[in-house]
């Protein structure tokens, strides 16, 4: 099973945002710091999951376990419901992408267990300036 740690971060509300993705695959580690442009923190969290699912799909992973410290994203995916329209649109993308895997799990973890993804997300915030 592939372990995928994700985090989204935003420097403002909204502000420059980034996604951090840390993947453990049979002892191998992959790290991604992806600039996301200007978003709020919740949007960044959703986009981090979308990016992670896209990466896992490109790598032809079949069984993935995603860990996130975002209760909003984890609850939305588990309940398949988001109250606000802008989050529903992102959630629908996530649910569609999740069907590409034989098994897809998502689990909430405390921030203390998500430091690697958090560091990558914060790094990605600063990469926004280089993309423009």
Domains in the chain, start-ordered, CATH in brackets? 2-131 (3.30.420.10)
Cα separation, 20 vs 37, in Å, equals 14
**pLDDT score of 131:** 57
Render pLDDT for 90-106 as a digit per residue (tens, 0 to 9): 999 999 999 999 999 99
**pLDDT score of 129:** 77
Residue 130: is its pLDDT beyond 80?
Answer: no
Q: Tell me how many degrees the CA angle 123-127-132 measures, rounded to the nearest 5.
A: 165
Render pLDDT for 32-73 as a digit per residue (tens, 0 to 9): 999 999 999 999 999 999 999 999 999 999 999 999 999 999
pTM across the whole model: 0.96
Q: Give 3-state DSSP helix, strand, coil % of the chain, rounded to 5.
A: 45, 35, 20
Share of the chain above pLDDT 90, in %: 95
């Amino acid at each position: 099973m592939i372990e995928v740690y994700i985090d989204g971060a935003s420097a403002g509300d909204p502000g420059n945002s980034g996604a951090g993705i840390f993947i453990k695959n049979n002892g191998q580690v992959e790290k991604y710091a992806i600039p996301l442009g200007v978003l709020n923190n919740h949007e960044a969290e959703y986009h981090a999951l979308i990016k992670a699912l896209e990466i896992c799909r490109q790598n032809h992973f079949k069984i993935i376990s995603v860990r996130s410290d975002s209760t909003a994203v984890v609850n939305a995916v588990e309940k398949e419901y988001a109250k606000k329209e802008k989050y529903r649109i992102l959630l629908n993308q996530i649910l569609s992408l999740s069907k590409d895997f034989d098994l897809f799990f998502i689990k909430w973890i405390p921030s203390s267990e998500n430091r690697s993804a958090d560091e990558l997300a914060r790094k990605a915030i600063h990469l926004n300036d280089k993309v423009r």
